[in-house]
Amino acid sequence: NAGVTQTPKFQVLKTGQSMTLQCAQDMNHEYMSWYRQDPGMGLRLIHYSVGAGITDQGEVPNGYNVSRSTTEDFPLRLLSAAPSQTSVYFCASSYSLDRGDYEQYFGPGTRLTVT
Amino acid sequence: GIQVEQSPPDLILQEGANSTLRCNFSDSVNNLQWFHQNPWGQLINLFYIPSGTKQNGRLSATTVATERYSLLYISSSQTTDSGVYFCAVEQEYSSASKIIFGSGTRLSIRP
């Protein structure tokens, strides 16, 4: 199993540009989520999904869109990049939160800089 | 929403020392996890522990759900234990099933 994969690893955007951060998992996990981590801070939830076709907002959803057309993939779209979106983005997956004893797996992260 | 506070924010220890990291949360939770982020940024799940005590080698964790806190114990610290330790909670009775992270404890183990 590859686990949770994220692409790209690094990205530099100009203000106003759009892009998609890719996330895929091969563990058949129902729950997937996107977090951002700013320097010296914890992870903040952007969006999450409890299954294909179902998404919801986290703590900091503004400026980001998500979709979940398949169980495996959960892309994050930046609509119009702003310097405030400079951060490290992590994708995570796990079995359903209703399952009980589950473990959350994280991807390696995407370091995004918006100039 | 639920508040998750971790203490201390920073901890510097000599190799071989023991440490206790604390996570307080402001509301009832369905579950709680501890993570380690190594100096290269990789996040590793340490424990899933909504209540009770678990041990894994030199690490152990205890959650007292009724008092809304969890403790992570690291014994005989090694330099490889350095990094940031996060707790994350899923709020109880939340229709949104969100997982919220604390701001972390940065642990530095000196040889």
Question: B45 vs A50: CB contact, 8 Å cut-off?
Answer: no
| Interface list for chain A against chain B, based on CB atoms closer than 8 Å | 31, 33, 35, 41-45, 48, 50, 56, 58-59, 88, 90, 92, 97, 101-106, 108-109
pLDDT tens, position by position, B36-63: 999 888 999 999 898 999 999 999 999 9
pLDDT tens, position by position, A19-41: 999 999 999 998 899 999 998 77
On the CB side of B7, how many CA atoms lie within 13 Å of its CA?
A: 4
Chain A residues near residue B87 by CB distance under 8 angstroms: none
* Predicted confidence band of residue A100 (pLDDT cuts 50, 70, 90): low
Is the model's pLDDT at B94 over the cut of 60? no
A30/A90: higher pLDDT: A90
Give the whole-number percent of chain A exceeding pLDDT 70. 94
Is the model's pLDDT at B97 over the cut of 80? no
Distance CA B55, CA B106 (A): 21
Is the model's pLDDT at A76 over the cut of 90? yes
Q: How many CB pairs under 8 A join A and B?
A: 53
Any chain A CB within 8 A of the CB of B5? Answer: no
Contact A111, A9 (CB under 8 A): yes
Any chain A CB within 8 A of the CB of B99? Answer: yes
pLDDT score, position B108: 96
pLDDT tens, position by position, B17-33: 999 999 999 998 888 99
Is the model's pLDDT at B83 over the cut of 70? yes
pLDDT score, position A94: 87
Query: For A36-48, what is the mean pLDDT?
Result: 89
Is the model's pLDDT at A99 over the cut of 70? no
pLDDT score, position B93: 58
Chain A residues near residue B33 by CB distance under 8 angstroms: 103-104
pLDDT score, position B28: 87
> Please, what is the end-to-end C-alpha distance for chain B in angstroms?
40
**In DSSP terms, which residues pair with A48 in a beta bridge?**
A33, A56
Any chain A CB within 8 A of the CB of B30? Answer: yes
For B42, which of A43, A58, A108 is closest by C-beta distance?
A: A108
Residue appearing with tokens 């203490």: B7
Q: Which of A15-19, A98-102, B65-69 has the lowest mean pLDDT?
A: A98-102
For A58, which of B33, B98, B103 is closest by C-beta distance?
A: B98
Chain A residues near residue B1 by CB distance under 8 angstroms: 59
A96/B63: higher pLDDT: B63
Query: For A50-58, what is the mean pLDDT?
Result: 91
pLDDT score, position B70: 98
Distance CA A102, CA A92 (A): 12
Contact B33, B50 (CB under 8 A): no
Distance CA B50, CA B29 (A): 8
Query: For A51-75, what is the mean pLDDT?
Result: 94
For A42, which of B30, B86, B97 is closest by C-beta distance?
A: B86
* Total residue count of chain A as it appears in this document: 115
Arithmetic mean of pLDDT over chain A: 92
pLDDT score, position A80: 96
Chain B residues near residue A97 by CB distance under 8 angstroms: 30-31, 90, 97, 99
Question: A106 vs B30: CB contact, 8 Å cut-off?
Answer: no
